Amino acid sequence: CSIRIPKPVELKGCGYFEDRRPGANSDPYEVAAMLVKNVCLDQDKKVKAA
């Protein structure tokens, strides 16, 4: 899985991310929900930006 978070999103603290996965035969809603859960909602694993 690969996502891209543009630099302005990091600076503003809001915005969008790009799903960079190749096409697959998976449910896009299920995949999007898993990405949001792991990237946005998992507060325990937040790391500081370098």
Is the residue at 13 inside a domain? yes
Residue 24 has pLDDT above 70, yes or no: no
**How many domains does one find in the chain?**
1
Higher-pLDDT residue of 3, 33: 33
Residue 44 has pLDDT above 80, yes or no: no
Residues paired with residue 18 on neighbouring β-strands, in sequence order: 4
Is the residue at 9 inside a domain? yes
Is the residue at 50 inside a domain? no
- Mean pLDDT over 10-23 rounds to 81
Contact of 1 with 21, CB cutoff 8 Å: yes
Is the residue at 16 inside a domain? yes
Is the residue at 31 inside a domain? yes
At residue 32 the predicted structure's pLDDT band, cuts being 50, 70 and 90, is confident
Domain of 7 in residue numbering reads as 3-45
Is the residue at 29 inside a domain? yes
With 0-12 / 13-18 / 19 or more C-beta atoms within 10 angstroms meaning exposed / middle / buried, residue 50 is: exposed
